[in-house]
A and B are shown apart, each in its own frame.
Chain A
């Protein structure tokens, strides 16, 4: 699999990363190098092997349905560039 310059541009835009032309030119071959490196894994015969997405040998921990968090608005808003009347204030995003 190989990434084109347009693919990189699209992925960057989906991630809201601004890339100038020079960066795009540099990144495409770099990312392709990484992908090529990872693709070596496909040389391993994995027929009849269940896909594995996690190597932890534990089960998913669950919590009881109790309210024991929240009510910390000052902390939640502390890093907001702007907040008003308890809300985050962001540039208008009406569609």
Chain B
């Protein structure tokens, strides 16, 4: 239950949130020019005369970006529109040399869709997608390099963005975070956006209003400059309280664009109201309508990978995992593939999941390493888990072996061999150890037999210690019970 109501002075309030996610399309070149979109180049180098909006330059649409857009639409289980139109969205800003952004308005390339988001309590919720369109990114203004000037870098100008607009279905900051996470995951699975929020290749605008539950929608404010999931959560928290305070004090919320200030942790009004949203859209006369064929859409559909939700449900069915474990494992494609290799080698799906999630990911996290740089590869971890499954070593010894593997990169079998860690399953050998423990602890034996059941753990511990941890615990338990009774 994340449908959080906020207590105000006049009763409870509900927040209504819709998100616009801007995702930079993975491609080599820009939406309408042949300049590179590589991040981090020297200022104004990845700029063609088209991106700089020199007179007479004409935009030519990038076919690969169109295909990426179609792929994303299919991945969002959305309608792909065979007819879409590029339009000019007019506004003035120094990092927008054309004076307009080429975007899509009445006829976007992708229409309505739906995604399932995973909430922190393990439940899921469906969030509607209103539309997705292709548009140009703007350049970047740098305000802190000169006391009285702003510097403009057009490297990003004209890069392709997908703007994914959600329905106002989101009712809490948790749901908003879950939604952005799921969009990010789907785009990364599809290979249409790298989802890197630090480099700005994924950004979100947040539309927020508040209302008394059951009422009509209130007036919304749009929050920009929300560059991480943490910032989004903070911005939502601030903005909701600001709006409730205004209404409870008898005022009205203005429909306006507000900027999130990550230093002061507040939102403030951005553009003057009278100019707001007066973009004067019209079809771009430089570009004909984009018409897609069924053949192209079908061809792209055939290349779709298994998507996160499908994978999650398959893991739950095929491997009998719970929803939480499954969603951790499918969060990244390489992690899911790693897990599947471990299972294939080890056999035990649940035990493999525990080892990947708790031991491997934990150790990598501690070492500050990515899965791709893991010293232990999937087959090796699979072999280790297999040795627990076939009783060669106990789970406890396996942890020592694993630590050694992370250190040395050696195979589990080699370490078990070298260190002589193979579990003792020979009942005769274990019985001999038990007999010795019984002889050495006559007082405890008497106490146990006198009814002090708790001492059983003591004996197990002594036997394990005497065997240097190598005795099979199940056999130890069984034999001990017989000998002590």
Report whether over half of chain A's contact residues are helix, strand or loop; otherwise say mixed.
Answer: loop
Interface size on B, residues (CB 8 A): 56
Q: In this assembly, does B275 line the interface, its C-beta being within 8 Å of a C-beta of chain A?
A: yes
Q: Could you tell me if A65 and B62 are in contact, using CB atoms closer than 8 angstroms?
A: yes
Given contacts A86-B42, A88-B44, A91-B148, contact A68 B141 (CB under 8 A): no
Q: Could you tell me if B152 and A87 are in contact, using CB atoms closer than 8 angstroms?
A: yes
Q: In this assembly, does B63 line the interface, its C-beta being within 8 Å of a C-beta of chain A?
A: yes
Contacts of B65 in A (CB 8 A): 65
Report whether over half of chain B's contact residues are helix, strand or loop; otherwise say mixed.
Answer: loop
Interface size on A, residues (CB 8 A): 39
Q: In this assembly, does B35 line the interface, its C-beta being within 8 Å of a C-beta of chain A?
A: yes
In Å, the complex CA distance between A95 and B47 comes to 26
Closest to A53 in B: B283
Q: In this assembly, does B426 line the interface, its C-beta being within 8 Å of a C-beta of chain A?
A: no
Q: Could you tell me if A14 and B35 are in contact, using CB atoms closer than 8 angstroms?
A: no
Stretch at the interface among A26-34, A35-43, A69-77: A69-77
* Closest beta carbon of chain B to A17's beta carbon, Å: 11
Contacts of B90 in A (CB 8 A): 14
Q: In this assembly, does B52 line the interface, its C-beta being within 8 Å of a C-beta of chain A?
A: yes
Contacts of B50 in A (CB 8 A): 69
Inter-chain residue pair count (beta carbon < 8 A):
143
Within 8 A of A (CB), among B1-55: 27-29, 33-36, 42-52
* Closest beta carbon of chain A to B146's beta carbon, Å: 7
In Å, the complex CA distance between A61 and B61 comes to 7
> CB < 8 Å: which of B146, B154, B278, B288 contacts A84?
B146
Given contacts A60-B287, A86-B42, A93-B94, contact A67 B150 (CB under 8 A): no
In Å, the complex CA distance between A72 and B35 comes to 10
Q: Could you tell me if A67 and B62 are in contact, using CB atoms closer than 8 angstroms?
A: no
Given contacts A65-B27, A65-B29, contact A92 B44 (CB under 8 A): no
In Å, the complex CA distance between A72 and B13 comes to 55
Closest to B274 in A: A10
Within 8 A of B (CB), among A5-34: 10, 13-14, 16
Counting from the closest, the 9 A-B pairs by CB-CB distance are: A70-B35, A65-B64, A69-B34, A87-B151, A69-B48, A62-B63, A88-B152, A68-B34, A60-B288
**A residues adjacent to B (C-beta < 8 A):** 10, 13-14, 16, 53-54, 56, 58-73, 75-77, 82, 84-95
